[in-house]
């Protein structure tokens, strides 16, 4: 497999950093990927921002915590909380052009979250034929404040329009 990644970091404001990922997976031979729960793209928050420490994990539909977001298809999830008196967070957006969009989320209250279709594969496997690349795009939003004040839903609407 040839894995090519383009990563672009921008700072549209003093309180927001955008990190855009374009991942191209090109099978150099026929590939079979088996069911896996931690795959493709993920983040893990510092323990102080986790749900277990009083932080908030929320998806685009307003469902919260591992109980409300695990296995749920959603275009984005956001994790935020307060540490050292500062509220901060991180969101992961899935691009609408991604295969499986929106993929189900593998979430944990200890701070891990991933838009991973690999845990919910049809027939517990994914076959990628040689020469047929798979391109996936994600945006990570590092932000001050909580999901509402950081306007994560608005930022996602803007991201949806990017090619």
- pLDDT per residue as tens digits for the range 36-49: 876 689 999 999 99
Q: Please give the Cα distance from 106 to 20 (Å, whole number).
A: 20
Instruction: At 13, list the tokens.
Output: 């404001």
Long-range contacts of 4-10 (CB under 8 A, 24+ apart): none
| Predicted pLDDT of residue 28 | 98
| Predicted pLDDT of residue 52 | 98
Task: Single out the residue of 8, 99, 89 nearest to residue 43, CA to CA.
Answer: 89
Q: Please give the Cα distance from 136 to 5 (Å, whole number).
A: 10
| Predicted pLDDT of residue 123 | 86
Q: Please give the Cα distance from 117 to 66 (Å, whole number).
A: 17
Domain residue spans in the chain? Answer: 27-134
Which residues, given as ranges, of the chain have pLDDT below 50? none
């Amino acid at each position: 497999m040839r894995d090519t990644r383009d990563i672009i970091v921008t700072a549209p404001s003093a309180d927001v950093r955008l990190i855009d990922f374009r991942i191209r997976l090109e099978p150099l031979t026929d590939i079979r990927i088996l069911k896996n729960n931690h795959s493709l793209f993920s983040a893990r928050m510092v323990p102080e921002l986790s749900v277990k420490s009083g932080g908030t994990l929320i998806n685009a539909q307003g469902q919260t915590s591992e109980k409300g977001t695990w296995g749920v298809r959603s275009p984005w999830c956001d994790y935020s909380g307060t540490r050292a008196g500062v509220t901060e967070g991180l969101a992961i957006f899935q691009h609408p052009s991604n295969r499986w969009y929106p993929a189900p989320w593998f979430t944990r209250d200890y701070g891990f979250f991933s838009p991973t279709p690999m845990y919910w594969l049809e027939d517990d496997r994914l076959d990628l034929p040689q020469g047929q690349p798979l391109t996936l795009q994600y945006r990570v939003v590092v932000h001050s404040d909580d999901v509402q004040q950081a306007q994560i839903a608005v930022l996602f609407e803007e991201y949806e329009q990017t090619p």
